[in-house]
Amino acid sequence: MSAREPGCYAVIFTSRLGDDDEGYAQTAARMVERAAAMPGFLGIDTARDGEGLGITVSYWRDEAAIAAWKADAEHTAAREKGRRRWYEGFDVHVARIERSYTAPAQAKLGT
Amino acid sequence: MSAREPGCYAVIFTSRLGDDDEGYAQTAARMVERAAAMPGFLGIDTARDGEGLGITVSYWRDEAAIAAWKADAEHTAAREKGRRRWYEGFDVHVARIERSYTAPAQAKLGT
């Protein structure tokens, strides 16, 4: 978690896992590692609750960085597998960040 | 989860809970209920993993709807309590949706 610059982009990926999640965790971890090596990658946060709803938000410098990540061959194969096998459904939203606020850990000590 | 119109807004709230989460779940549920009653509310998704990292994305028709929700008195009190007591840290990003993709449950049956 950290502040992002206005004008950068967030890709919000919301998904629901089905019953067959064999190989999912390994592929998800591999995709985080691979995304982090892409030019223009700014960060990623992911959370999945106990009922299979997951939200992953990745942050990118610009649209070109998002397009390059989308075109990555291993990522494309993983998306296809997710669509066919792992996910009951998902949404992707590409959004341009207008403004951000951050409260560091120290904030709770301040008052 | 559902597609959002381009031009609407996402508020991405990423937080890490501290050890003291007394009253948190009730307040969080109440805030979802209250947000959903606001004009311009389009939806909300939330996931928190086993290690206390949570991501909540709420969707709004326009900036005016976000401002009205931010000004809501009960929401303001809950944010203050979160900042002082519940959260070790958090980020908020306000982002304008450029485009969206949705895969319904049926998609996995298609191939």
> Which segment of A67-81, A89-103, B15-29, B92-106 scores lowest on mean pLDDT?
B92-106
**Spatial CA neighbour of B79 closest among A101, A50, A36:** A101
Question: Residues 61-100, chain A: which have Cβ within 8 Å of B?
Answer: 83-85, 87-100
Give the residue-averaged pLDDT of B95-100.
Answer: 96
* pLDDT at residue B2, rounded to an integer: 56
Task: Inform me whether the pLDDT recorded for B17 exceeds 70.
Answer: yes
pLDDT of residue B21: 87
Residue (of B85, B82, B23, B80) closest to B56 by Cα position: B82
B37 Cα to chain A: minimum distance (Å): 23
A89, A101, A105 ranked by CB distance to B88: nearest: A105
Q: Report the alpha-carbon angle B53-A79-B13, nearest 5.
A: 25
Please give the order of strands across the beta sheet that includes A41-48: A41-48, A53-60, A9-17, A87-103, B87-103, B9-17, B53-60, B41-48
Judge whether residue B96 has pLDDT over 50.
yes
Backbone φ/ψ region at A70: left (φ over 0), alpha (ψ -120 to 50), beta: alpha
Residues of chain B with pLDDT > 90: what percent? 78
Task: Output the CA torsion sign for B58, B62, B66, B69.
Answer: negative
3-state secondary structure at position A53? strand
Q: Cβ of B101 and A92 within 8 Å?
A: yes
A&B contacts, CB < 8 Å: 140
Read off the pTM.
Answer: 0.90
Q: For strands B87-103 and B41-48, give the pairing.
A: unpaired
Spell out, as residue ranges, where chain A has pLDDT lower than 50. 105-111
pLDDT score recorded for residue B3: 55
What's the confidence (pLDDT) of residue B98? 96
DSSP-derived secondary structure for B79-108: HHHIIIIIEEEEEEEEEEEEEEEEE-GGGG
Q: What is the ipTM of this complex?
A: 0.89
